[in-house]
Structure 1
Amino acid sequence: MKFSILVPAYNEEQSIASCLNSLIVLPDNKEIIVIDDASTDLTVQTIERFLNRGIILVRRERNGGRAAALNSGLQRSTGDIVVTTDADTVVPPNWLQRFESYFKQQGVVAVGGAYQARNKEKPLANAVSILDQILNGMFKKSVIPNKLSGVNSAIHRSTLLNSGGFNESSWWNEDSELGWKLKEIGKVMYDPDNMVNTTYPDTWTDIWKRKFYWGYAMGLKFKKQVPYNIRLWLRPLLFMALFMSLLAFWVTIPCGINVYLVPGSIFFILLSTLTVFFIPLGMIVMLRNGDREFFKTLSLLAILPVFREFAYTYGMYWGFCNGHREMIKSTWKDELHCRGTKDREKNISV
């Protein structure tokens, strides 16, 4: 079984070397295809230093986004299994072996893996990572309808080609779109123990941006075709119930305790579900990970769930109401790279 590892890259000069160093030491039954999506920094020059170590470089003349870059790599691939990851991600030594064990099972067409913060020294990044580990690891994505993620997934190449490859019009959620499509073809599995380390947002603005546009992309899907999947509705309905119960509580306060007690109780129960519920689970994850910033991260877990779900639900609302891709903005990673470039230029000038 041969693996084709696709790594889309756009302005990743600071992180891609670590990614490639973790990939080239994997077993020999692989090819590593890095797709430069018209970077404007030194990404290509960094990749070129690895060309004599088995790296294949595909260069795109125009920036087309992640899905377009992946399709360019898919056309060049020759493996039985296509594996996707990001240029700011480091993979474990047994990464491909874990994928291979699943594809030996009958009917499996795709396998998704887990991810955690590579920059866990940043409290916000670590807190967001822990939330993802709770939802993706402890619950094995049972409350999330898609088992694939762009940073850590493997798909049968023939199945991927027959299904049309990566959807270039499915902006911000081409991995979810692919996962839903592949579920109609065969088994899509999830391995919570196949963990990669990737860069997480470490500012409130970047966290908001990430969740808002994920929600916006989901809203676009809902506008195009309302899916009959209770797990797709679970998160927005839960947050809407939280918001409506709070509104009802405020409105009925003048009417006395007999009236506002019911909406108030519903609000505090739902709020506890999104906050207090995550704290003991977060403690378990942090103890298992051996986190040092224990109490600082724990305090953030009381705020982050509500903040993220508000951004996600608000994004869904605007995606559904507007239904335009013109609202596309640069990703939080693009802004992170831009800030890093400005910092380096400032240091040079000093």
Structure 2
Amino acid sequence: MQYGDFISVIIPVYNRAATLARSVGSICRQTYPNLEILVIDDCSTDNIEGAVAALNDPRVRLVRRAQNGGAAAARNTGVASATHDLIAFMDSDDVSLHDRFEQEMRLLCTLPEDYIGVYSAAIAHTDTTEQMRSMAAARVLPPPHRRMLSGDLFAETLRGNFIDMPTMLLKKDAVLAAGRFDERLRNNVDWDFTLRLTQQGKFGFVPQPLYVFSYVPRVSHGNDHISHNPRYSVLSYSYITGKLRRAGHKGPEMAGHYAAAGSYLMRIGRPALARRYFEAARCITPRNPRLWAHLVLSRLPVLHGWARGRAARFS
């Protein structure tokens, strides 16, 4: 690996022609020029082709999927279409700072062979209007209190996802070894992939924020997009916890995941399934009084009626 090697940048897109000038444009304007920019169209109905043509950059290649499959499927198509040994990801409504790849490549080239990639800090900010600016907020990722930011990060990732996947620059062979993005998931796709990826090797970290994304506060809007759908979020978290269990992971981190999955399942009206996760957590931490309380609550008939009412709200 040496400075100057080409990078394949994968950008899934679905009905975001209006944002490509900003998002893909931020990749076109990088100070690191050796890029293959793959825009993966997941069967959009707006004018993605026109938006790509307007960029007027020969490095940009539009890859059309035959069937809509979601972000995981589009990223898999991007990995399969990439022609270079380095892979980076980008979301179609975010912005990369102009020197993102220059900084990431310089760091990657200094690291030992057992490092499979690097990632950077990111800034997240709420997407508000002038009238709603009093509600504006911003945060830096990973959180400033986190201390373990480079090296072998699997144990840290097992505790919870803190790496913003679109900030990664990765060796392609490690991406292939980690396996495909799980297309069965409707949420938490990044965490599931990162869990497998951090088992392939070590990571370097660029502490400067090189990536910016905005989000709409969930409490202030009625967006039913999948990433804001509580039911999909709960079920995907439970599914990933089950995958970790089947892979043989144990310990207090898993007890925490079991308990969290059980609590989430209670909220969407699945007490019987929640009870299985509480029982799994109890086997690891049998003296936790909160788990016993949850188990009792999951068996109360009156709570089942309340849970069914909660479930109806999310259906």
Q: Which residue of 1 aligns with 2:37?
A: 32
Q: Deviations over 1:111-148 (max 9, x none)?
A: 33333235554559843x42xx2763442576853344
- Retained in 2: the 8 A contact 1:211–1:311? no
User: 1:165 corresponds to which letter in structure 2?
Assistant: R
Q: Deviations over 1:290-322 (max 9, x none)?
A: xxxxxxxxxxxxxxxxxxxx8798479789659
Structure 1 residue 25: Cα displacement: 1.2
Structure 1 residue 166: Cα displacement: 2.4
- The counterpart of 1:93, out of the listed 98, 109, 124, is 98
Seen in structure 2, the aligned counterparts of structure 1 residues 116 and 195 have a Cα distance that, compared at 3 Å, is same
- Retained in 2: the 8 A contact 1:5–1:31? yes
Secondary structure of 1:49's partner? helix
1:202 aligns with 2:217: yes
Q: Which residue of 1 aligns with 2:242?
A: 223
1:187 aligns with 2:177: no
In the alignment of these two chains, the number of paired residues is: 251
Q: Which residue of 1 aligns with 2:296?
A: none
Seen in structure 2, the aligned counterparts of structure 1 residues 11 and 159 have a Cα distance that, compared at 3 Å, is same
- Retained in 2: the 8 A contact 1:214–1:315? no
Secondary structure of 1:11's partner? coil
Secondary structure of 1:34's partner? strand
Structure 1 residue 216: Cα displacement: 2.8
310-319 or 61-70: which moved more? 310-319
Seen in structure 2, the aligned counterparts of structure 1 residues 154 and 315 have a Cα distance that, compared at 3 Å, is farther
Q: Which residue of 1 aligns with 2:119?
A: 112
- The counterpart of 2:70, out of the listed 65, 74, 98, is 65
Q: Find the aligned partners of 2:99 and 2:207 in 1 and give their Cα distance.
A: 14
Q: Find the aligned partners of 1:319 and 1:5 in 2 and give their Cα distance.
A: 43
Q: Which residue of 2 aligns with 1:16?
A: 20
Secondary structure of 2:208's partner? strand
Secondary structure of 1:184's partner? coil
Q: Which residue of 2 aligns with 1:260?
A: none
- TM-score, normalised by the number of residues in structure 1: 0.60
Structure 1 residue 53: Cα displacement: 4.0
Q: Deviations over 1:13-52 (max 9, x none)?
A: 2212101221111121211111010011223321222254
- The counterpart of 1:50, out of the listed 55, 63, 69, is 55
313-322 or 97-106: which moved more? 313-322
Seen in structure 2, the aligned counterparts of structure 1 residues 321 and 313 have a Cα distance that, compared at 3 Å, is closer
314-323 or 97-106: which moved more? 314-323
Q: Find the aligned partners of 1:216 and 1:198 in 2 and give their Cα distance.
A: 25
Seen in structure 2, the aligned counterparts of structure 1 residues 161 and 192 have a Cα distance that, compared at 3 Å, is same
Q: Find the aligned partners of 2:208 and 2:272 in 1 and give their Cα distance.
A: 33
- Retained in 2: the 8 A contact 1:218–1:316? no
Secondary structure of 1:181's partner? helix
- Retained in 1: the 8 A contact 2:241–2:258? no
Structure 2 stretches of 5 or more lacking a match?
A: 150-155, 277-315
Q: Deviations over 1:225-263 (max 9, x none)?
A: 4343644655785899xxxxxxxxxxxxxxxxxxxxxxx
- Retained in 2: the 8 A contact 1:113–1:195? yes
Structure 1 residue 197: Cα displacement: 1.3
- Retained in 2: the 8 A contact 1:4–1:77? yes
Q: Find the aligned partners of 2:46 and 2:272 in 1 and give their Cα distance.
A: 32
Q: Find the aligned partners of 2:183 and 2:16 in 1 and give their Cα distance.
A: 21
Identity %: 20
- Retained in 2: the 8 A contact 1:109–1:159? yes
Secondary structure of 2:12's partner? strand
Q: Find the aligned partners of 2:126 and 2:64 in 1 and give their Cα distance.
A: 28
Q: Find the aligned partners of 2:28 and 2:233 in 1 and give their Cα distance.
A: 32
Q: Find the aligned partners of 2:269 and 2:106 in 1 and give their Cα distance.
A: 37
Q: Find the aligned partners of 2:33 and 2:118 in 1 and give their Cα distance.
A: 20
Q: Deviations over 1:79-133 (max 9, x none)?
A: 2211001000111112112322342311111333333235554559843x42xx2
Q: Find the aligned partners of 1:113 and 1:40 in 2 and give their Cα distance.
A: 33
- Retained in 1: the 8 A contact 2:241–2:257? no
User: 2:122 corresponds to which letter in structure 1?
Assistant: Y
- TM-score, normalised by the number of residues in structure 2: 0.66
Q: Which residue of 1 aligns with 2:146?
A: 139
Secondary structure of 2:18's partner? coil
Structure 1 stretches of 5 or more lacking a match?
A: 241-309, 324-350
